[in-house]
């Protein structure tokens, strides 16, 4: 029973922004696929999860194990927050460029084709980067979540 409570508190709760965001986008789009999963939400959720585990691991009595585990999860916090910041910038830039294009169309502003093309090209380039960040966030999650569960099992974090 302790393990279920620990998983809810240290795994499910920190990942809830990611799951809820994907659910909302999936319901809106009418389907659930890789595109509806936001790398910003997953990165932020992974940072919360890693911070929770690092704090929990800091209570381990054996200094060597405590420092090793805490350092691993603190590094994960830094990597996750870096992915979060990068993905947030990319998403913001894509939206900004789309808004400029849409405003030009709505206001029927004559814009040179080369300028329109440069906005579209930048959006497409950033979409590719966003896909790579999404993959990186999933890879990080596929490492950190099992490591957190394993650490709980091995070091009995739920009893600390």
pLDDT of the chain, 160 residues: tens digit per residue? 678 999 999 999 999 999 999 999 999 888 777 788 899 999 999 999 999 999 999 999 999 999 999 999 999 999 999 999 999 999 999 999 888 888 877 776 666 777 778 888 888 999 999 999 999 999 999 999 999 999 999 998 888 7
Q: Please give the pLDDT value at position 1.
A: 64
d(CA 54, CA 133): 24
Q: Please give the pLDDT value at position 31.
A: 79
Q: Which domain covers residue 17, as residue numbers? A: 2-159
Whether the CB-CB separation of 130 and 39 falls below 8 Å is answered with: yes
d(CA 94, CA 124): 9
Domain count for the chain: 1
Whether the CB-CB separation of 78 and 56 falls below 8 Å is answered with: no
d(CA 38, CA 125): 17
């Amino acid at each position: 029973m302790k393990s279920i409570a620990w998983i809810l508190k240290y795994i499910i709760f920190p990942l809830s922004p990611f799951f809820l965001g994907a659910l909302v986008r999936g319901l809106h789009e009418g389907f659930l696929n890789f595109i509806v999963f936001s790398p910003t939400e997953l990165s932020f959720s992974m940072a919360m999860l890693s911070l929770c585990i690092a704090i929990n691991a800091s209570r381990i009595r054996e200094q060597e194990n405590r420092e090793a585990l805490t350092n691993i999860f603190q590094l994960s916090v830094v990597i996750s927050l870096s992915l979060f910041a990068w993905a947030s910038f990319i998403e913001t830039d894509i939206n900004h460029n789309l808004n400029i294009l849409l405003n030009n169309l709505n206001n029927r502003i004559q814009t040179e084709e080369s300028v329109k093309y440069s906005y579209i090209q930048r959006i497409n380039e950033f979409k590719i980067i966003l896909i790579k960040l999404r993959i990186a966030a999933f890879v990080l999650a596929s490492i950190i979540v099992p490591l957190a569960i394993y650490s709980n099992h091995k070091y009995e974090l739920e009893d600390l």
